[in-house]
Amino acid sequence: MGHLLKTIHSAAAGLTRTLSGLTSKMLDLRNGADNDDRVVTDETYTDRIAEGCLMMGVRLTRVTFIRCDLYWSLWFLAELTEVVFDRCDLRGAAFNDATLTRCRFIDTDVGTDALGGLTDWGNADLSTTTFIRCRGQ
């Protein structure tokens, strides 16, 4: 019983988010989830479906997304540092005014979606970003 309580307490602590944006241990990667202004470091997310999720103003450092469906996600004013998108779907996602520092997109779909929408990089700083075998770049 003590081990179970310790596990529950640890999981709850990991999901803690401060309103001031100082700390947030996890992203909520579900369809339409609101992650605005979260700060996340050293996390990996695999096989998540989070179409249309809100990532506006997030600050992510050394976060990796593997085979994640982030179709039509919104990344306005996001600050991404050493973030990796590996085999993800970012069709229709909007990265307007985002800053991407040493980020890598590997085998990721940033092309046209079924409705004709493209990944929008409007005014995003991509100067240190690498695209490897991406579709639609």
Question: For the segment 66-100, what is each residue's pLDDT rounded down to a tens digit?
Answer: 999 999 999 999 999 999 999 999 999 999 999 99
pTM above 0.85, yes or no: no
Q: Which residues in 17-76 belong to E strands, given as ranges?
A: 39-41, 44-46, 59-61, 64-66
Q: What is the pLDDT at residue 113?
A: 76
Residues 97 and 124: beta-carbon distance below 8 Å: yes
Place of tokens 């970012």: 90
pLDDT tens digits for 8-66? 444 444 444 444 444 556 999 999 999 999 999 999 999 999 999 999 999 999 999 99
Phi, psi of 10 (to 5 degrees): -65, -45
Tell me the two tokens of residue 116.
Answer: 């004709």
Question: What domains can be seen in the chain, in order of their start residue?
Answer: 1-137 (2.160.20.80)
CB atoms within 10 A of CB 117: 15
Please give the average per-residue pLDDT across 100-106, as a whole number.
98
